[in-house]
Structure 1
Amino acid sequence: MSKNNLDTDVLKVAMYLRLSQDDEKYDKGFKVESNSISNQRLQINDFIDKNEDMELIEEYVDDGYSGINFERPAFKKMMEDVITGNINCIVVKDLSRFGRDYIDSGRYLQRVFPSLDIRFIALNDNYDSYTASETEKNLVIPFKSFINDNYCRDTSAKVRSVCKVKRKQGQFISNYAPYGYEKDKEDKHKIVIDKEAEYVVRKIFSMKLEGYSSYSIAKHLNDNGIPSPMEHKKAKGIRYKTGFCTKAVAKWDTPAINRILTNEVYIGTLQQGKREKINYKLDKVVSKDKSDWIEIEDNHEAIIDPHDFEIVQKLLKCDIKAKTVGEKADLFSGLLFCKDCNAQMTKKVDKRGKTPTVYYICSSYNKGQDCSRHSIKQEELQRTVLEMIRHYIQYLGEYESVSEKIKEMEVSYELFQRVDKRQEYTKKSKAKFELLKSSLYQDLKEGIIAEEEFYDMREFYTNRIVESELILEKQSKEIARLYKKSLGNQNFLTGIKKYQNIGILERGLLVRLVDKIYVLEDKKIEIQFNYDETIEILDKLSSYTSQTPEIREVV
């Protein structure tokens, strides 16, 4: 039984007011000036003053809340007062102020309010539930609610479409620029380097390359009073909201460091559309598959060298944690592997003598798994690796003239594709199977093959053609990767030449030059260098151009 009674002498009125930024985009005819909270209040007060049987009990204001759902604080408070009997009449300026969701609006207007004897009045829609006909209640008002809902749905689809186009054009459409960047003052859809935070980003990547764990980097920044990304934005007067911060004053932590270390925005690549709302009615956001992201390379000025970024991604996948907080990781951490089982080598310390002996053994062997020790002393390893790096740097020097010749040639992507012979062989194989498949029907018609053989062979050739297409797709991606890498590494020799007379092995140089160090059972080592692939590319390009000296293509 409801506590409310519409036959009382004076109606206990609730004035409900709502306004949000969404209203402008959901309704083309919406005007902020005429729908402001103050104007809504003025119109409703004027209506109540003209009705002697109405008494304003409470004003409920949801300023800044969307009408797509009813998860609004003031609305919830009003419903509590409705349930307790403090209110028996609700007045709004129009139905869109009450809500824009067709289903929930209809549920309140046609079920909840009638069951509680609540009189509902929407002034601009000329609707009063106490005097409305059945046609108005069951047809007109639901139709108007549907129109309001339809505005949201259509506009949401249009907004998504426009945003997608802008992302593909390389326009930055997020509310906040990533740490290290800021929105261009002349064009809010472009980002430029934030000079105040640039050095911090460089420091984070530098420390990771030097062997510090992400936790140690965060501690270093906090100890030195470097403001976290949130505090930096606050200091610049930006009203920044994030779900990552749970404290009054945000500090650097491991997740924050890792987000920076893995964000390709710092190499000039703009990645957008990583997440999306389930639909226009729900605020829940879901992550999208990376293949569905919109990526624009060379979109803005980079802070970090792409080669250094690539090395950091590799190091993040390895166990490079130092045992003591703030201490660097081991010189070879994340780089040293067993040649036989490909497991990482484990660092050990023998303290039995006067001077502790540091050595490495296979981690699989250390866990009792099926592999041998592959033991090697740290001192011997350092000496051998240093000597091999010296020879490698000397070897790279021989490619300086080749590299300069290739740069002058301005190698195009089309030339690069021709140099790589893998696709040429795959295309020939695909063409062969297509020819064989096309001749099957003629062989069947002439009686050379039976009908069963025809279907079996057609299926076989079709599968081979599909496999060739998949291989071609993979090869295209690999060639594109190698081409991009060759462009990015064109000046690598200049940076390496300064280490020609290196006397001490440093981790910074080690991670830039070395991809993996393999330890064999006889204490021998093999090194896989980061530039081996680049040298192979230079060899191919040099060989191809020497065979075709007249070629000189422009990108």
Structure 2
Amino acid sequence: MKKAIAYYRKSIKPKGDTTEEESIRYQRESIQSYAKAHNIEIIREYNDIGFTGRNVNRPELQIMLNDLKEEKVEIDELLMYSTNRFGRDLLNNINTMIEILEQVEVVNFVSENLRSDSEYFKTLFLILTASAQDEVERIKKRFASAREGKVIYKKEFLGSNLPLGYVKDKRTGKLVAAKSENTADLEIIEEYTFLQYIYIAYAMGMGQREIANNLNNKRTSTPRKKKWNNKSVAYILGNPIYTGVLTGTLESEFNYFVEDANVEPIVDPLMFDFIQYKLSMSKQGRKPRAKYHLPEFIVCENCVVPMVVDQESLICNKCGHVASVREVESEIKRLLIGFLRNNKLPKDELPDMKMLEQQLRFKKEKIEKAIYELKERQDLIESSYSDELAKKDMIDINTSQQNKLKIDHQYTYELLHFIEAHKGKLEMGNFEEYPLIMRVPFITFVNKQEVRFLFHKSLFK
């Protein structure tokens, strides 16, 4: 009875409950049947699962080659299913086959009925290997074409991990904001809140590292389930997908930039441009204390270019217009503080912050309890009622109540989070001692007669 070893390869790793043996069953069954019919005993099997045919450094292949060289197995034949399971790279296949034939008398590709001791083995082996390599190239091109079509023509997001703050609409495939009307998952709704926090906190002057620390303290993680750091915060701030734009690279060579994609914009383009300007102007290391409290973006109205601070002056390098820093700061404070006072309660009417925090925390817990009870009631309706029409009406009413509570929960959470983050600073009547107010994301236009503002709608309704 002849003795043989068998080698199997499959490039895709098994998923779910499927074992490695089950994933290559068709190869094993064919080789076992062949061995039984030809009175061959298979004394050892080698399996490479999840490795492409172009990779010659497959672990089990290397173990097999080493076993043959060191004569750990004494055999008459090496059995394989087909040349494309052996490999899909012409040069590597040739070199590896030469190495194997120095140790083994016969190599047998069962499905193709191709033996190394046959007259036309070398010619057919080269043809089949070259064909396998060509097939890989065709598959890659088809796959690249399909991905390109999805991105360029359908304008769809391709990543396996959805960006922070997004969910996918099951009906349209569109990425939409993770609000309560689009998802019932409170954790994902919370991620949308974290996204808003990152942009607004950075726009108001908080550093990337401090933002990351605050997010980690809230026990949240990045879309890749890792801890936040300054780099992951910077990636979120610089990702144009939040303005509805898809960017990336296909097959390491084709760069794409798709506007008006199948993505709901979350961040206003004006806000995003402002953030990019801040990122480009930021420098690493300890920053000097500012002498004046000025907005980040001051523009010469005549030229619409940023003005630069030079000691006591604001200067437009294009037209040479000069404005006094002190006068501009004073005018900004006068207008901005007046605006805020007209839209806030007077100082003596402000609630006690500690009491307000306790009230909001109690309200949040009460809403969460009510949502939980509604979910239990919905389960009871689905299991108890046989009248489908009545069941549907009751479930619709229940779902509507849940959605209203989820919206209320989101707003309550955001206000509570803001108060917790600004304890000790919320003396809303004393704006002079709250310099962050001066750094909110709006554009300041300066000309010879006046100072004008463009407020950002996300912060000022």
Deviation per CA, 1:96-126: give whole Å up to 9, x if none. Answer: 21112233223323x3223344632110010
CA distance 1:375–1:116, shift in 2 (3 Å): farther
| TM alignment of 1:423-442, pairs within 5 A | none
SS at match of 2:231: helix
Candidates 252, 259, 281, aligned match of 1:296: 259
Say whether 1:97 aligns with 2:85. yes
Candidates 9, 32, 53, aligned match of 1:45: 32
Partners of 2:142 and 2:283 in 1: CA distance = 47
Candidates 105, 123, 126, aligned match of 1:142: 126
| TM alignment of 1:286-435, pairs within 5 A | 292-297=255-260, 299-319=262-282, 323=286, 331-332=293-294, 334-335=296-297, 345=309, 382-387=329-334
The answer for unaligned runs of 5 or more in structure 1 is 1-8, 24-33, 232-249, 278-284, 347-359, 363-373, 394-500, 519-523, 532-555
- Tell me how far 1:91 sits from its aligned partner: 1.5
Q: Is the contact between residue 184 and residue 192 of structure 1 (CA under 8 Å) also seen in structure 2? A: yes
Q: Is the contact between residue 320 and residue 333 of structure 1 (CA under 8 Å) also seen in structure 2? A: no
Amino acid at match of 2:210: S
Amino acid at match of 1:14: I
Q: Would you say how many aligned residue pairs link Structure 1 and Structure 2? A: 339
Q: Is the contact between residue 318 and residue 334 of structure 1 (CA under 8 Å) also seen in structure 2? A: no
SS at match of 2:47: strand
Question: Which residue matches 1:477?
Answer: none
Q: Is the contact between residue 335 and residue 514 of structure 1 (CA under 8 Å) also seen in structure 2? A: yes
SS at match of 1:293: strand
Partners of 1:392 and 1:22 in 2: CA distance = 61
Partners of 2:336 and 2:171 in 1: CA distance = 48
- Tell me how far 1:141 sits from its aligned partner: 1.7
CA distance 1:384–1:343, shift in 2 (3 Å): closer
Q: Is the contact between residue 31 and residue 81 of structure 2 (CA under 8 Å) also seen in structure 1? A: yes
Question: Which residue matches 2:227?
Answer: 251
Question: Which residue matches 2:374?
Answer: none
Question: Which residue matches 2:177?
Answer: 193
- Tell me how far 1:513 sits from its aligned partner: 2.5
Partners of 2:133 and 2:104 in 1: CA distance = 26
Partners of 2:83 and 2:166 in 1: CA distance = 43
CA distance 1:337–1:307, shift in 2 (3 Å): closer
Question: Which residue matches 2:65?
Answer: 79
Partners of 1:14 and 1:334 in 2: CA distance = 71
- Tell me how far 1:344 sits from its aligned partner: 5.9
CA distance 1:515–1:95, shift in 2 (3 Å): farther
Say whether 1:19 aligns with 2:5. no
Question: Which residue matches 2:183?
Answer: none
Say whether 1:205 aligns with 2:199. yes
CA distance 1:209–1:517, shift in 2 (3 Å): farther
CA distance 1:209–1:52, shift in 2 (3 Å): same
The answer for unaligned runs of 5 or more in structure 2 is 15-20, 179-188, 301-305, 314-321, 341-428, 456-461
Question: Which residue matches 2:214?
Answer: 220
Deviation per CA, 1:427-473: give whole Å up to 9, x if none. Answer: xxxxxxxxxxxxxxxxxxxxxxxxxxxxxxxxxxxxxxxxxxxxxxx
Partners of 2:102 and 2:292 in 1: CA distance = 72
Partners of 1:221 and 1:390 in 2: CA distance = 30
Partners of 1:328 and 1:206 in 2: CA distance = 20
- Tell me how far 1:314 sits from its aligned partner: 1.1
Deviation per CA, 1:111-162: give whole Å up to 9, x if none. Answer: 3223344632110010121x211x232x212111122111111122122222
Q: Is the contact between residue 5 and residue 43 of structure 2 (CA under 8 Å) also seen in structure 1? A: yes
Amino acid at match of 2:249: R
SS at match of 1:42: helix
Q: Is the contact between residue 19 and residue 66 of structure 1 (CA under 8 Å) also seen in structure 2? A: yes
| TM alignment of 1:441-456, pairs within 5 A | none
CA distance 1:516–1:93, shift in 2 (3 Å): farther
Identity across the alignment (%): 20
Q: Is the contact between residue 336 and residue 345 of structure 1 (CA under 8 Å) also seen in structure 2? A: no
CA distance 1:172–1:224, shift in 2 (3 Å): closer
Deviation per CA, 1:5-28: give whole Å up to 9, x if none. Answer: xxxx954x33211223499xxxxx
SS at match of 1:15: strand
Which is greater in Rg?
Answer: 1
Deviation per CA, 1:398-454: give whole Å up to 9, x if none. Answer: xxxxxxxxxxxxxxxxxxxxxxxxxxxxxxxxxxxxxxxxxxxxxxxxxxxxxxxxx
Q: Scaled by the length of structure 1, what TM-score is found?
A: 0.51
Question: Which residue matches 1:514?
Answer: 443
| TM alignment of 1:150-189, pairs within 5 A | 150-167=134-151, 168-186=153-171, 189=173
SS at match of 2:53: coil
- Tell me how far 1:507 sits from its aligned partner: 4.0
Deviation per CA, 1:229-269: give whole Å up to 9, x if none. Answer: 222xxxxxxxxxxxxxxxxxx21011111111111111222
Q: Is the contact between residue 321 and residue 329 of structure 1 (CA under 8 Å) also seen in structure 2? A: no
Deviation per CA, 1:59-88: give whole Å up to 9, x if none. Answer: 222222222333433223323323323245
Deviation per CA, 1:163-215: give whole Å up to 9, x if none. Answer: 2222122123332322222333345x432333242111111101111111111
CA distance 1:164–1:383, shift in 2 (3 Å): same
Deviates further, 304-313 or 214-223: 304-313
Partners of 1:96 and 1:512 in 2: CA distance = 59
Q: Is the contact between residue 320 and residue 330 of structure 1 (CA under 8 Å) also seen in structure 2? A: no
SS at match of 1:302: coil
Computed over aligned residues only, the root mean square deviation of the Cα atoms, in angstroms, reads 4.5
Q: Is the contact between residue 431 and residue 437 of structure 2 (CA under 8 Å) also seen in structure 1? A: no
CA distance 1:305–1:337, shift in 2 (3 Å): closer
Candidates 275, 288, 309, aligned match of 2:249: 275
